[in-house]
Structure 1
Amino acid sequence: MKKMNKIFAVLLTGLLSFTALSCQKKPKVTVIGYRTGSLCAIPIHIAVLTGLLDDEFEAIGQKVEALHQTGFSGTTAELVGSGKVHGGFELIASNLQAMENGLPIVFATGVHTGCTRYFVRPDSGINSVADLKGKKIGVLNLTDSSVINLKRKLGDYGIKVSLADSEVDFRVYEMSAMGIALQNKEVDLIALHEPMATKVQKEYGYKEILNTGTDEKFKDEYCCQIFVTEDFLKDNPDGVRAFIRAIQKASVFVQTVPEEAAQIQLAHDFTSGTVEGNVEILKTLNYTPSYEKGKQTFVNAVTELKELGLLKPTTDVDAFIKRGYVTIPGIPKGFTYDPATKTYTEIK
Structure 2
Amino acid sequence: MAQSKKVGGLSRRNLLKTTGAAGLVVSAGALAGKIYSPAVAAPAPKIRLAWTEVAACHSPLGFGVAKGLYAKHNVDVELFYQGASGQTLIQALATGKADVGAGLIGDWLKPLEQGFDVKLFVGSHGGCQRLLASPASGIKDIAGVKGKTIASYDVVSPPKVAFQVTLAKAGIDPENDVTWKVVPFDLVGEAVNRGDADIAAHLDPWAFSIEKKFGLTKIADTQTGVYEGHTCCVLGANGAFLKANKDALRRLAIANIEVHDYVADHADEAAQWYLDALKPAGLTHAELTEILGSFVLHNHPIGQPLVDQIQKSSEDLKLVKVLDSSTDPKAFAERVTVNLLA
Partners of 1:96 and 1:84 in 2: how far apart? 20
Within 5 Å, give how 1:1-348 maps onto structure 2: 29-58=46-75, 63-70=76-83, 75-161=88-174, 166-213=176-223, 215-269=224-278, 271-272=280-281, 273-291=283-301, 294-329=306-341
Q: Structure 2 stretches of 5 or more lacking a match?
A: 1-42
* 1:187-228 per-position Cα deviation (integer Å, ceiling 9, x unaligned): 121112222222111111111211222x22213112122222
CA contact (8 A) 2:69 2:259 kept: yes
Q: Which amino acid aligns with 2:130?
A: R
Is the alpha carbon distance of 1:109 and 1:27 closer, same or farther for their aligned partners in structure 2, counting shifts above 3 Å?
closer
CA contact (8 A) 2:308 2:333 kept: no
Q: Which amino acid aligns with 2:70?
A: L
Aligned partner of 2:37 in structure 1 is none
Partners of 1:109 and 1:29 in 2: how far apart? 18
CA contact (8 A) 1:232 1:240 kept: no
Give the share of equivalent positions with the same residue, in percent: 25
Partners of 2:119 and 2:157 in 1: how far apart? 18
Shift of 1:132: 2.5
Partners of 2:44 and 2:228 in 1: how far apart? 42
RMSD value over aligned CA atoms? 2.4
Shift of 1:294: 4.5
* 1:117-165 per-position Cα deviation (integer Å, ceiling 9, x unaligned): 1111113132322233333211122333211211111111333336xxx
Shift of 1:289: 4.2
Q: Which amino acid aligns with 2:324?
A: K
* 1:59-106 per-position Cα deviation (integer Å, ceiling 9, x unaligned): xxxx5432232479x811111111221112111112222222232222
Query: Please, what TM-score do these two structures have when normalized by structure 1?
Result: 0.77
Query: Please, what TM-score do these two structures have when normalized by structure 2?
Result: 0.79
Aligned length: 296
Partners of 2:198 and 2:44 in 1: how far apart? 54
Q: Structure 1 stretches of 5 or more lacking a match?
A: 1-25, 331-348
Partners of 2:193 and 2:291 in 1: how far apart? 24
Q: Secondary structure at the match of 1:40?
A: helix
Determine which structure has more spread, i.e. the larger CA radius of gyration: 1
